[in-house]
Amino acid sequence: MKLLSAYGVALLAAQAAGVAIKHRINGLTLTEHPDAAKRELLQKYKVKALGFNCVSFYVDWALVEGKPGEYRADGIFDLEPFFNAAKEAGIYLLARPGPYINAESSGGGFPGWLQRVNGTLRTSDKGYLDATDNYAANVGATIAKHQITNGGPIILYQPENEYTSSCCSVEFPNADYMQYVEDQARNAGVVIPLINNDASAEGHNAPGTGKGAVDIYGHDSYPLGFDCANPTVWPSGDLPTDFRTLHLEQSPTTPYSIVEFQGGSYDPWGGPGFAACAELLNNEFERVFYKNDFSFQIAIMNLYMIFGGTNWGNLGYPNGYTSYDYGSALTESRNITREKYSELKLLGNFAKVSPAYLTASPGSLTTSGYADTADLSVTPLLSNGTGSFFVIRHSDYSSEDSTSYKLSLPTSAGTVTIPQLGGTLILNGRDSKIHVVDYNVSGTNIIYSTAEVFTWKKFSDSKVLVIYGGSGEHHELSIATKSNVTVVEGSASEITSKQTGKAVVIGWDVSATRRIVQVGDLKVLLLDRNSAYNYWVPQLATDGTEPGFSTQETVASSIIVKAGYLVRTAYVEGADLYITADFNATTAIEVFGAPSNAKNLFINGDKAKYTVDKNGIWSTEVKYTAPDISLPSLESLEWKYLDTLPEIQSSYDDSLWPDADLDKTPNTFRELTTPTSLYSCDYGFSTGYLLYRGQFVATGNESTFLVDPQGGSAFGSSVWLNGTYLGSWTGLYVYSDYNATFDLPQLEAGKTYVITVVIDNMGLEENWTVGEELMKTPRGILNFELSGREASAISWKLTGNLGGEDYEDKVRGPLNEGGLYAERQGFHQPEPPSQNWKSSSPLDGISEAGIAFYSASFDLDLPTGWDVPLYFNFGNSTTPEPYRVQLYVNGYQYGKYISNIGPQTNFPVPEGILNYRGTNWVAVSLWALSSEGAKLESFELSYTTPVLTALAEVQSVDQPKYTARKGAY
Ligand code: GAL
């Protein structure tokens, strides 16, 4: 509690994915976007505006130590610009560097070379621990440098991730192991508190449990699960009810912490899509489930994810596709138009101004005493006159009924039955409310309010309280005052009030038209929820232009602004009040509490004319005129084409390819069933497409070839014998490997043949259960059989990305490119040597099985001052031939599209990867997995509503262009 009382507000955090590192930012996970630091800053203002004060981030080890012993966290992988941006935005950070992170990322963040480690992953085995040392020391030192004790934003450190489940007789939980991970952080200079995230509330490593204990115990919770296919179904029993009891059993001395609470869901290949996930985990889910968490007096609440982002550059695990939108409050293209963003803002801002919540005493859920119907359940958080909170919901939490009720609440004015002035309180289906009692608004005691509190502020000459209710609801408010009620805005006729001498009671029906009542020096804004969504509470920076961290002082300094899409910051310079904000429509702006010395209003740097009404509210308007956005037609670019499967030509020379000649595998997960290892990670190839070439001299008696390639869920594979196409496995989500037998044509005795196998590696498995070792699940060829021949008759070579762990592209990192010829050569980068390539478009495609590669450039000239989300869209209206596409934008892989599996057809690519004012290079690999060939049905660049933005100009990330690669084959 010491930690929390320093902030005076609950720690509301959220994981987000940001930066180029798919550092997944929980609430923001860093490990995602080669998206410049400015981007992060932007995400953070959007998080800050929610009323949140912290962001958690994962660091993905695989991205920063692609080669064992070489930690490289520079350029897009540099954490420091992200840390600096967080500090600037006044957002604390919770660092989650693993080494294991899960996160729907390839290998759960483990680099591919860990498949070769001698030792069980996530245990005390020396081979594994030694492998972690270099990463842990480096990332730990960077985190230590930016922890709060050194003036940085990082306040918490999470060792490991969901160290909760085991199998296969490994020692578990292994206190020595957990202690080792913690010592690594401490040895690197990390002094901030350690917090863990048990996968469920099982008390692992809680303080007092001895070796390996953390400072603050926390657990995770995903109550509605991950099945987005039925987005309106809330199965019975899914709402947690025992968290408080477990907390008191497991870690009563630490602030109650949920380190990952469900903020959305992942979605598999072929899944229902993220719009369905956003619906399942929508604003109603937030209302009921997050307020339920509040009923347990949650003190640290971290949402996973608030912004998921993109699995660019092979970052994802095999069960997920390119988008990691997650159905989160911030969409993959950084929009905040989902209602769940607005709903979250109501709750976050309420927590920010309700410190009494942290000191009240939570009671048990009850159906009697507070509400007059057993259809409703109430959890009280009680205090003696200093702020009580009553969390109400339907007893059947998934009920869609509207239930009327009376409340009986203990207040400083005695127990009151509410409503006192007539009318009926209603709780609609899938709603939950927090009724406040003896709520302190800067010295004014709100005896109770049935309408919910959004925020309140004390200004130099008045106080403002903003409360809201659902449309059509009746509400009542009682204030300890001898003053009368005056309706200073809106119609008085719909508002009833009664003075009792010591208190005033006000009743009203919620209306879409705002009413303001004045009681003494307090103005109360009566809003409906949808109007409340338009209110923002920026902390007013008085020193400089940045809001600063959320402390009692900075929170108290905030102003209230009614605007539209987003208000980012507010600050005063002399007599000038500056507001920065984003707009997606013409927007009326009102300012409540403009400082008395402020005389001029500037919106996004432009002086605004404003009026002041009798209540002191400043009003102005920002006009939105949609800019002209003209985007090139991708279909009519000057596309250049290259066959990127030269391997099947008779003249092809593979002498530079690595031999697959290891007769033992270091991989302990699965024994070899082939004479030499064909596991790609044994040879340093762990990302992107894999190619194998097996050479043999025929006897003429071979009739079939069986091969069992393994690429992970939804993978595909194609096989050729010399130039003859044998066939493909086109992929299904449920198959990670697939045994296929192909008939061979009559082979000529004594002649040399080459079998070429192409495998789509979907990423490495995660390693959630300790001991199961799933991350070591091999990629490549598990088994093969050439009929009538010994397996040793075939000698194999293989390739993935050029150089494997000695990867070529140090800028875009170790995972971005795979093993296609064009990728090995670097042709996916800007300015490939395409002058002599054939002119042909991916819309023309190819007429037989194979893999084509296309490159083209286009210019963009988007207006400055606008945030315009852009998407590459692949048409899929008919059932096309099965094909797989990789999309490269300025050398960054930003999409894997599978025509016969889906669901993703639209691929957002952020500004900074795209040059919005300049030249861009787009490349597409098109793999036809049928003898009919394949072509893109359509390919378009599109945009969604341009947002007039206060976001500073986005700097593009480094986009090295093609240069001939030494030793490329
Ligand atoms: C948790 C894990 C996260 C993420 C989440 C599901 O178990 O800690 O990393 O995988 O589940 O999205």
* Atom 5 (ligand 1) nearest CA: 103
Query: Which of 734, 767, 799 corresponds to the end of one domain?
Result: 799
Helix (H, G, I), strand (E, B) or coil at 251: coil
3-state secondary structure string, 561-612? EECCCEEEEEEEECCEEEEEEEECCCEEEEEECCCCCCCEEEECCEEECCEE
Domain enclosing residue 232, as ranges: 7-353
The answer on 652 and 557 residing in a single domain is no
925 CA distance to ligand 1 middle (Å): 31
The answer on 27 and 136 residing in a single domain is yes
Which atom of ligand 1 lies nearest, measured to the CA of 199?
7
pLDDT of 551 = 87
Which atom of ligand 1 lies nearest, measured to the CA of 326?
12
Chain segment 12-38, per-residue pLDDT in tens: 666 654 333 334 433 333 333 333 444
pLDDT of 866 = 95
Contact 325, 318 (CB under 8 A): no
- 756-769 mean pLDDT: 98
415 CA distance to ligand 1 middle (Å): 45
> How does DSSP classify residue 338?
S
Q: Which amino acid is at 422?
A: G
The answer on 593 and 568 residing in a single domain is yes
Looking at 65, 104, 162, 332, which residue is catalytic? Answer: 162
CATH number of the CATH domain containing 714: 2.60.120.260
Which atom of ligand 1 lies nearest, measured to the CA of 101?
9
pLDDT of 39 = 47
| Pairing status of strand 388-394 against strand 432-441 | antiparallel
- 111-136 mean pLDDT: 98
Token pair belonging to 95? 């660092």
Which atom of ligand 1 lies nearest, measured to the CA of 766?
10
Token pair belonging to 65? 């130590």
How many CA atoms, within 13 angstroms, populate the side-chain half-sphere of residue 339?
13
Which of 260, 767, 774 is the pocket-test mutation for ligand 1 (most atoms within 8 Å of CB)?
260
The answer on 167 and 79 residing in a single domain is yes
The answer on 866 and 745 residing in a single domain is no
157 CA distance to ligand 1 middle (Å): 17
User: Alpha-carbon distance 686 to 691, whole Å?
Assistant: 12
Q: Which residue has the tokens 């801002």?
A: 349
* Atom 11 (ligand 1) nearest CA: 103
262 CA distance to ligand 1 middle (Å): 9
Instruction: Decide: residue 839, CB within 10 A, 0-12 exposed, 13-18 middle, 19+ buried.
Output: exposed
The answer on 383 and 511 residing in a single domain is yes
Helix (H, G, I), strand (E, B) or coil at 109: helix
State what percent of residues in the chain have pLDDT above 90. 91
Which atom of ligand 1 lies nearest, measured to the CA of 102?
9
Which atom of ligand 1 lies nearest, measured to the CA of 24?
9
- 354-370 mean pLDDT: 96
* pTM assigned to the model: 0.96
Chain segment 647-685, per-residue pLDDT in tens: 999 999 999 999 999 999 999 999 999 999 999 999 999
170 CA distance to ligand 1 middle (Å): 22
* Atom 3 (ligand 1) nearest CA: 103
The residues near 2 (Cβ < 8 Å, ≥ 6 apart) are none
pLDDT of 35 = 39
CATH number of the CATH domain containing 144: 3.20.20.80
400 CA distance to ligand 1 middle (Å): 30
Residue 814 lies in a domain: no
Helix (H, G, I), strand (E, B) or coil at 119: coil
- 693-713 mean pLDDT: 98
Q: Which amino acid is at 945?
A: T
The answer on 765 and 732 residing in a single domain is yes
816 CA distance to ligand 1 middle (Å): 23
Q: Which residue has the tokens 């819309």?
A: 843
Q: Which residue has the tokens 């657990």?
A: 219
Which of 31, 110, 162 is the pocket-test mutation for ligand 1 (most atoms within 8 Å of CB)?
162
Looking at 88, 260, 765, 805, which residue is catalytic? Answer: 260
Query: Which of 327, 353, 379 corresponds to the end of one domain?
Result: 353
Q: Using CA of residue 637, residue 641, residue 644, residue 645, what is the dihedral sign?
A: positive
* Atom 6 (ligand 1) nearest CA: 103
Residue 761 lies in a domain: yes
Residue 806 lies in a domain: no
877 confidence band (pLDDT: 50, 70, 90): confident
User: Alpha-carbon distance 857 to 922, whole Å?
Assistant: 6
Instruction: Decide: residue 574, CB within 10 A, 0-12 exposed, 13-18 middle, 19+ buried.
Output: exposed
The answer on 435 and 567 residing in a single domain is yes
* Atom 4 (ligand 1) nearest CA: 103
Q: Which residue has the tokens 């030694």?
A: 130
> What's the total number of domains in the chain?
4
The answer on 349 and 431 residing in a single domain is no
Token pair belonging to 167? 């199998």
Chain segment 104-117, per-residue pLDDT in tens: 999 999 999 999 99
For residue 955, pLDDT over 90 is answered with no
The answer on 145 and 170 residing in a single domain is yes
265 CA distance to ligand 1 middle (Å): 9
Contact 892, 812 (CB under 8 A): yes
Residue 521 lies in a domain: yes
556 CA distance to ligand 1 middle (Å): 35
User: Alpha-carbon distance 924 to 828, whole Å?
Assistant: 8
- 398-406 mean pLDDT: 98
Residue 857 lies in a domain: yes
Chain segment 856-876, per-residue pLDDT in tens: 999 999 999 999 999 999 998
44 confidence band (pLDDT: 50, 70, 90): confident
pLDDT of 953 = 84
Active site residue 260: yes
Contact 388, 403 (CB under 8 A): no
- Between CA 243 and CA 718, with CA 324 as vertex, the angle to 5 degrees is 130
Which atom of ligand 1 lies nearest, measured to the CA of 58?
9
| Pairing status of strand 892-898 against strand 24-25 | unpaired
Active site residue 286: no
User: Alpha-carbon distance 478 to 456, whole Å?
Assistant: 16
Residue 888 lies in a domain: yes
3-state secondary structure string, 156-218? EEEECCCCCCECCCCCCCCHHHHHHHHHHHHHCCCCCCEECCECCCCCCCCCCCCCCCCCECE
Per-chain mean pLDDT for the chain:
94
Residue 480 lies in a domain: yes
- 679-696 mean pLDDT: 98
3-state secondary structure string, 902-968? CCCCEEECCECCECCEEEEEEEEEEEECCCCCECCCCEEEEECCCEECCCCCCCCCCCCCCCCCCCC
The answer on 607 and 664 residing in a single domain is no
Return the biggest CA–CA distance within the chain. Answer: 109
Residue 807 lies in a domain: no
The answer on 560 and 455 residing in a single domain is yes
724 confidence band (pLDDT: 50, 70, 90): very high
**Pocket-forming residues, ligand 1, beta carbon under 6 Å:** 101-104, 161-162, 199, 220, 260, 266, 304
pLDDT of 493 = 84
Cis peptide before 903 (omega within 30 of 0): yes
CATH number of the CATH domain containing 467: 2.102.20.10
Query: Which of 766, 799, 832 corresponds to the end of one domain?
Result: 799
pLDDT of 14 = 67
Chain segment 507-526, per-residue pLDDT in tens: 999 999 999 999 999 999 99
